[in-house]
Each structure stands twice: as C-alpha cells, then as structure tokens.
C-alpha cells in the first residue's frame, strides 16, 4: 500500500483493518485518531484511544471540550509514515483502536468522575492501556482512580506549567488545578516515584513531588531531564499526563491558562522520546482549547504528544 491508495481509500475508521499505515487524503474521511478503527469493543486490542470532551473544571478560558475532535483531525497528517525517530512502527505492530468519546450527562457534572472511572476500568480489564484525549486536566483524577485500582499507587510523569497541587480537601469539587493534590491525598499516586516537568508557577506545599521546572529544562537540556526522570521513576508503572500548556504559548497558544517561558516543542519531543523503556501503562494529553488556537498549532502538538505516548506504551508492551 502507498500513496496510490489515496485514490480509493476513505473512511478507514469504519473498515476492518486494525493494523498498518493509512493513506487516505488527510483532508477527507472520518477523523478517528491516526485513522484507527472506531469501535466500542476493545476485545483483542493492544491500546484504546478515548476522547473525553469535558471542560467544566477550568479556572479561566474554556474550550477543551473541543480538544478531542481537534486532536483527531490534526492527527490525520501523521499515519502515512511510522512516527519519525522510532525504530518500530506501532501502527503496524499493535492493534490500536479509537473508542470514540466518553458519554456523560453534561448537566450533571457531579456524576462525571464516576462515569469516567468506570469506562477506564472497563477498558483496563482487557489488559490494555489507554491514551485519553482531553478535556481539561481534572479528567486525570478519575482516570488515575481506575489505574490505581489496576496497578496500585502509580507514578505520574506530568508535563505542565502548573503543579495542580493547590490544596483542596473538598473531594467533591471539580477543579483542574487540584487534581494531583487529591490524587496524592487519596493514595492514587506515589509522589516519591513521580516527577513534574516544565513547571513555572508557585506552589508552596508540593507534597513531596519532585519537579524539573522549565528553566532547568532550558539550562540542563533534554538528556539531563531524561536521566533524572529515569532515576526517580525506576521500574514503577508510569502514567504520563501532558498538559499542553507545558509548551510555551509560542508553540501552543490554544490553551486556557498559558504561561510564558515554557518548553519548546523540540524539547518536549526529545524528552518524550528519551523515556523509551519506562513502564508506561497509559497517558493523556489535556487542555487543548481550539477556540484559542488560530492556526491549529496546539492541536497539532497535542496529536504528536498522543502519538508519542502511544509509542512509549508500545515500546514497553512489545518488549523492544
């Protein structure tokens, strides 16, 4: 198969091919993530993509509810070739399916966390992982509940401008700036085996969470950052959460709470690639807000991040 197939291949998302590259025109067809098959049944899959269009926990600009749709559309630029720089083709060596978006009642936000946890738990029961397309960063908390149930207290590698560790002991509040505080307090995350990258806002009590701030990334370089991540995480199961505002607004303007001085896209790519071999069991990319993304650059970055998480997951799962 090759470019000739662009003449006849369309809507691969509704076909019966679960592996291989895709060659339909990037500007047409059903925009599943990387043109993977749409299905709610994950039986036999190696990895499930799930969209979570929820942004009712934001503290400033809304819009991440449109993130999953935008990331999927941006991803249509990628499945013509294996991900650059990886010595394997995850689209051909794994069965990756797009399970569409989470169904929930937008008028009953109090019911949303349990709905998301249940869906993630159901997918994990098939002995596979998830890459979730957000949505605001609150969604990571109910996801972590399912992962902790499956793996025990988990390590989180979080790329972010904000720590999301602001104190909030009301466990019923939905706030994207407190998800990690609650995850640590609830025993879902092991802070000693976790690390945050790209932070550039103040949090007085970090609950023992290690940090590599944005300035350290700029001054020390990606290789040093990767070495520190590996030292901290070790062999623990890792959930990788990437808030797109970890990137500088020059590279990702379409987000709700942008902060200057952030990571360059090449730095993020190098760090993610350098994490190959860690026991990545799942991940998410969150806070892509298309209403503030005039050129689509933020969604493009989000699609690449999600692809890198897929590669990291596949590298460990396939024993590369």
* Cα 197 from Cα 225, distance rounded (Å): 8
Instruction: Cite the annotated binding site for Mn(2+) by residue number.
Output: 137, 160, 162, 164, 243, 245
State the virtual CA torsion across 137, 142, 145, 146 in degrees, nearest 10.
Answer: -110
Separation between Cα atoms, residue 52 and residue 67, nearest integer Å: 8
| Token duo for residue 53 | 């269009």
Instruction: Give the gyration radius of the chain's Cα atoms.
Output: 18
Annotated binding site: 137, 160, 162, 164, 243, 245
Nearest residue to 280 via CA among 150, 83, 130: 130
* Tokens 């200057």 -> residue: 260
Residue 235 burial by CB count (10 A; 0-12/13-18/19+): exposed, middle or buried? exposed
């Amino acid at each position: 198969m090759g470019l000739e197939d662009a003449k006849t291949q369309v809507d691969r998302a509704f076909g019966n091919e679960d592996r291989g590259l895709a060659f339909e025109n990037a500007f047409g067809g059903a925009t599943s993530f990387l043109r993977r098959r749409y299905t709610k049944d994950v039986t036999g899959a190696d990895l499930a993509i799930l969209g979570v269009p929820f942004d009712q926990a934001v503290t400033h600009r809304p819009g991440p509810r449109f993130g999953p749709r935008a990331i999927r559309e941006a991803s249509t630029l990628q499945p013509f070739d294996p991900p650059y720089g990886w010595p394997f083709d995850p689209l051909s060596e794994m069965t990756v399916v797009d399970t569409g978006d989470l169904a929930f009642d937008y008028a009953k936000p109090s019911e949303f966390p349990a709905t998301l946890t249940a869906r993630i738990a159901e997918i994990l029961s098939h002995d596979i992982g998830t890459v979730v397309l957000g949505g605001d960063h609150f969604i990571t908390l109910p996801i972590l509940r399912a992962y902790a149930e499956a793996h025990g207290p988990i390590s989180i590698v979080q790329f972010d401008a904000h720590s999301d560790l602001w104190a909030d002991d009301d466990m019923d509040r939905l706030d994207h700036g407190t998800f990690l505080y609650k995850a640590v307090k609830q025993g879902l995350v092991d802070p000693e085996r976790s690390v945050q990258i790209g932070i550039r806002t103040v949090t007085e009590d970090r609950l023992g969470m290690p940090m590599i701030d944005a300035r350290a990334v700029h001054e020390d370089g990606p290789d040093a950052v990767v070495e520190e991540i590996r030292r901290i995480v070790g062999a623990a199961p890792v959930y990788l959460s990437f808030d797109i505002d970890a990137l500088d607004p020059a590279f990702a303007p379409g987000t709700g709470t942008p902060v200057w001085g952030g990571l360059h896209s090449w730095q993020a790519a190098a760090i993610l690639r350098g994490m190959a071999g860690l026991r990545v069991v799942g991940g998410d990319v969150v806070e892509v807000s298309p209403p503030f993304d005039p050129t689509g650059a933020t969604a493009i970055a989000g699609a690449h991040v999600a692809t890198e998480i897929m590669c990291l997951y596949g590298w460990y799962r396939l024993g590369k």
